[in-house]
Structure 1
Amino acid sequence: MRKLLLGGFVTLIAGCASVASISTGTGAMPVHQRPIYNSPQQVVYRVDEHRYITLENYRDCRVGGIMKWNDDRKNLHVVMSRIKNGGKGFWPGIFKIEPGEERFAVPSFGCGDRNCNLWINFSNDGGLTWDAFPSERYSMYAAEMVSEKQSVIDTEIRVTKDGYIYVIPKHKKFFYRYRLNRTKDQSPEGTATGDERCWPGEGLKLGIKEHIDWVESCEENRVRKPPFPPMEPGKYDMYDLASIPDVKTPSSQERFTCDPSLNPVVEEEE
């Protein structure tokens, strides 16, 4: 037997297969079999007095288990994401959420054979049901190399109470914005990503070539440094970092935490 040191970066390895509906309400049948670990449930992120995220059935802090969204006011304890194809866990970067009452988004992180992905778990119905879509992609070495880890650790997720999700990979000097669609439709298409300045949107009904030409022309002519020109209502410019709203979690928490002493890392080695 040999005790392995827990690294400063919590990797929580995961397969990045496509995700359909991850979970439904309390008591839902698991979507796949996974080992059962006798690990104590722990709060890994507190939103406010009543709402928090717990981790359970995890091997140790390095390998994710089942994450639940909890709302004590509603007696709600719902599976938000669960281990899949080897692991899935909480986000090691920055996460801030200004929660509303209906729309929430919570990041998670996973690595497969080819790359690592930031996943956005989201709910449009007050936390009753959850789905997910992939966002920022990282090198497959993001769980191992110091320089690659840092790019993940420095990426920030901000979620506003009106359902906007801001993904800010600081090493890239721009950001992405998603908008939850205010309905109970739990498909990734419901995030309405077509509001970026160089995205013509479905309404223009462009062909593939015309669409590419339009986007390339917009990219060539866009301003990448301040001052930025005014935007149409509902649009945003991914280079205008100053336009990102400030977000503060009511609890003041900005990263997920996991106490390794509750389930220490002990692995057998031949």
Structure 2
Amino acid sequence: MKRLPLIVLSCLTILAACQQTQMPDTGRYTYSDMPLPNAKPALMISENWKKYNTPPQIIYKIDGHRFITLESYDNCSGETWYNDTKSGVRTRVGHTSPNGFLGKLIIDDQTGMNVAVPTVTTGSCGDRGCRNYLAYSTDGGKSFNWLQYDSDHISFDSVKSSKDYSFYVTSDSLYVTKKWGNFGNDLIDRYPLRLGYVYGKNAKLPEGVSIQFGSTLPKGLRTPSGQDHYICDASILPTNGD
């Protein structure tokens, strides 16, 4: 498969650098502050969301002490938390509907520093389409930044499109792969990860560090638990629901 000319890739690199921002928990609605001419900015955290009395569910298990939970949810849509019982880290990431993300997630970083939590828009995208984001951490889950992973493809059905994406986290990189065409070809982009690396509008990267388009995925990557996708039991419902 032919890849895009160098001048086009250079333009995509510049565009990708503008499509990520940190979304701190301010106690109010927290939106991306980057310009999104074709989509409403993504709502990530709000203290105004209704609190549900559903028990926490582990939707993704990395190993015996690292896992992602869904809490205060209805119909498997609620608050996502990253937990590390060994280091004592517990961080609220944002809002997730795990059953809506149909792609693959592999976290194979034995250092425990790098984490990724992909999300997907499950509501109507309208005639302007949706943009979808992934939260990533380079400090063992203490803090997260946000990255738009479908920057070259505005989806009109994010749930359906999500099955084309796979995310692989290693000790030094995040690999984002997307199925391309009907011939089994994947587009693979590599985001180098280190403590303090931040992509996007407020980028904090050493000179020479950038997204590598057309990368190669390392072989044999596997989450220690063996899990490669989210799971959530939709039969568990709150008793204080609407």
- Alignment TM class, shorter chain as reference: 0.5 to 0.7
**Counterpart in the other structure of 2:218:** 245
Residues in 1 aligned to 2:56 and 2:143: alpha-carbon distance in whole angstroms? 21
Whether the 8 Å CA contact 1:179–1:191 is kept in 2: the answer is: no
Quick one: which of 42, 48, 71 aligns to 2:63?
A: 48
Instruction: Summarize the Cα distance change of 1:123–1:104 in structure 2 as closer, same or farther, 3 Å threshold.
Output: same
- If the length of structure 2 is used for normalisation, what is the TM-score? 0.67
Alignment partner of 1:58 is 2:73: yes
Q: CA RMSD in A?
A: 3.1
- Length, aligned pairs only: 191
**Counterpart in the other structure of 2:163:** 153
**Counterpart in the other structure of 2:118:** 107
Name stretches of at least 5 consecutive residues in structure 2 with no aligned partner: 1-18, 30-45
Residues in 1 aligned to 2:114 and 2:204: alpha-carbon distance in whole angstroms? 12
Instruction: Summarize the Cα distance change of 1:174–1:140 in structure 2 as closer, same or farther, 3 Å threshold.
Output: same
Aligned-partner SS, 2:83: strand
Aligned-partner SS, 2:225: coil
Instruction: Summarize the Cα distance change of 1:59–1:19 in structure 2 as closer, same or farther, 3 Å threshold.
Output: farther
TM-superposed deviation, 1:106 = 2.1
The correspondence of residues 154-233 of structure 1 with structure 2, limited to 5 A, is 154-162=164-172, 164-172=173-181, 173-183=186-196, 189-190=203-204, 195=210
Whether the 8 Å CA contact 2:104–2:229 is kept in 1: the answer is: yes
TM-superposed deviation, 1:170 = 1.1
Quick one: which of 148, 153, 178 aligns to 1:134?
A: 148
TM-superposed deviation, 1:152 = 2.0
Q: Tell me which protein shows more strand as a share of its residues.
A: 2
TM-superposed deviation, 1:248 = 0.5
Report percent identity of matched pairs.
26
Residues in 1 aligned to 2:92 and 2:52: alpha-carbon distance in whole angstroms? 17
Q: Which amino acid aligns with 2:88?
A: N
Q: Which amino acid aligns with 2:175?
A: Y
**Counterpart in the other structure of 1:73:** 86
Residues 58-90 of structure 1, C-alpha deviations (whole Å, 9 max, x = no match): 1212xx2110000011222210123xxxxx433
Residues in 1 aligned to 2:162 and 2:138: alpha-carbon distance in whole angstroms? 26
Residues in 1 aligned to 2:228 and 2:179: alpha-carbon distance in whole angstroms? 16
Residues in 2 aligned to 1:21 and 1:49: alpha-carbon distance in whole angstroms? 28
Aligned-partner SS, 2:235: helix
Q: Which amino acid aligns with 1:102?
A: M
Q: Which amino acid aligns with 1:92?
A: L
Residues 27-66 of structure 1, C-alpha deviations (whole Å, 9 max, x = no match): x8454311222222100000001000000111212xx211
